[in-house]
Structure 1
């Protein structure tokens, strides 16, 4: 049985395994006291979410030192199923030269390369996720085909 109307909570290890399978997500931060959402490509570095962006980007300036949320998901609209994982933590630009060089080799590739790029790391304080298995609800109802 799936509680919460068909949704199943995912534990931290499962959330991280699922994040490692995808490369596109969204950074949620505050801009002029309002929520802002930006799509980003990313990679996991241990449990941390790492984003590569231009040093002059609004993203790097907006989230440096801030608590942000990062969300990634995978959805199957035909099967009415999917999952979503949210990582919440403090974002920081990687300043250590050796760490920057390692991430340049092993980290995410930029979709819009820039002459001067930085890596922003989101250290996870909270990792949550849930999965919806199509057609299964706590009410025993199946979705129409």
Structure 2
């Protein structure tokens, strides 16, 4: 980033704290050798790992288990032209350890589209980046920060 470009870099902890407040994000993965993006509800585990709950039979499970994925969450105020965006990149795995599954099932997200057989997907936060748009402008070019 260049100084005074209207953006502020966010640190890892700040990124995770902002993400923890959001109920929905987007998982980016590969489907048939092409990028795919799906909106999903999620939560964060205590160590910052992203948790998703989905149908065991879903295409998402087959596509991401053992793969490197990206996950994005943001909050935007369109009227003020401000907001933030966080991207987490890491390995996604289906939680298979029974004790870990039971722990995460109690504290993790509930699926907004419940299925008879659900699994938990865990994304390890290997790379966490974010930025905040500061000093947004109105539609007429008036600086709202003043």
TM-score (norm 2): 0.90
Shift of 1:83: 0.2
Measured in 1, the distance between the counterparts of 2:122 and 2:3 equals: 34
Q: CA 1:7–1:118 in 2, change beyond 3 Å: closer, same or farther?
A: same
Aligned partner of 2:141 in structure 1 is 143
Aligned length: 139
Per the alignment, in what secondary structure is the counterpart of residue 73 of structure 2? Answer: strand
**Bigger RCO of structures 1 and 2 (CA < 8 A, at least 6 apart):** 1
Determine which structure has the larger strand proportion and give its number: 1
Aligned partner of 1:40 in structure 2 is 40
Aligned partner of 2:25 in structure 1 is 25
Measured in 2, the distance between the counterparts of 1:3 and 1:47 equals: 29
Aligned partner of 2:90 in structure 1 is 89
Asked whether 1:106 is paired with 2:104, we answer no
Alignment gaps of 5+ in structure 1:
137-141
Alignment gaps of 5+ in structure 2:
none
TM-score (norm 1): 0.91
Shift of 1:102: 1.3
**Where do 4+ consecutive residues of structure 1 move more than 6 Å?**
none
Measured in 2, the distance between the counterparts of 1:62 and 1:127 equals: 22
Shift of 1:4: 5.8
Shift of 1:3: 2.6
Shift of 1:134: 3.5
Aligned partner of 2:118 in structure 1 is 117
Aligned partner of 1:139 in structure 2 is none
Measured in 2, the distance between the counterparts of 1:20 and 1:4 equals: 28
Measured in 1, the distance between the counterparts of 2:62 and 2:104 equals: 19
